[in-house]
Structure 1
């Protein structure tokens, strides 16, 4: 009888421990209103069909969790502010900066650092010049000739990295405006993640080697949401990572739960 009772208690504990966290309501997940093909297609507040693999991955993660959410598109600055203030619960996709680590909630490892083992996306950050213009032969990944101006998305991790290197920065208000502004000679070089540029855009640009950094990108949560729903937030991060791995294995090159063999910033 005692053994049967212990077995029943064990089965009850297993069922409880594996039960999914309850779905938060309301649940608002934000995306930029600017296109970044092929991950996010279309412009403005609406999602086209197909919407891009970022949206598909979120929908798949929610389906596996048995939850529904409201998907929103907002201008980049408004999206960041709304996430920090709790108007949006989770948003895609953000690199980490010291300010964001203070104001948003990311998955963290045992040392309290952003946990790249569960980053859904890895990107290669590089400088791009106009087609037909050769890169500086002395370029070493950090030092630029004086006088060169670098276009960066305002408030982004690229912005923080460029300023950290002491480069002359020209802010860009919309992600997809960078290549056009570079061709119009608004600045001399564009600092961008390779993966957000379309094949057509890359064909008109020259990528400088070596690259600037390898960056993990996350879907951070608002502090308020993460505090109210810590278990669900962690479950969503894991499901999102696994969804991206299934849909875009080149973007998430190793199994979720494992860090890449090479060092990432």
Structure 2
């Protein structure tokens, strides 16, 4: 996982997502990925599709530069596009956005494959292998039908990412649901993995997490209770912890510091 300003942390759940996405992409099925808000589904999808590199490049379509060859190589490895439908997305907008993304991705992959060719063969379609739709609950019935049509006509693998319950909702549409080949439940951080991620957060604050120190153990227990291993809540909580440490010139994360940070967030009952 990754904070917007931090380095990516490869968790067990992310590795499970990668295996799931590889399977969907290889076997060209429709896959469902579901999990609670904030557990890291979107971050894993963006990482898998190299979307931090791909998105601005595909959006800012224009004259090509020699330096673009490096980006072509990245996109040729992922062969995946990530699309998030707008709220109340119309069929016209959906068709146009998804079509443009796939065509532009195909063009970039084709550019990479043609490097070194004495006589370039020109544009090729069908090079994109995976379409990831985030916030899939936003798709209307006609939107779902369009995604199914893209899947049927192009043979591209499709991943629909959403909240728990999306699998039950889609089961009411047998034409789409019958094409689902894989499902992946994206879970929160637990046990040693949560400790590993917390160690990284401690380190980012210039501190060392000591499992033999009762103060640290107590703080970890409080964080686990408050966040339930939710990645987004961990990020938000540590922003407040860093602020409290700085204001009070503290060098230790205590249970009181964690509770003070929790009191500034709207995260529901704990």
TM over 0.5: no
- TM-score category, normalised to shorter length: under 0.3
**When you count helix as a share of all residues, which structure comes out higher?**
2
Q: What TM-score results when the alignment is normalised by the length of structure 2?
A: 0.24
What is the TM-score of this pair, normalised by structure 1?
0.25
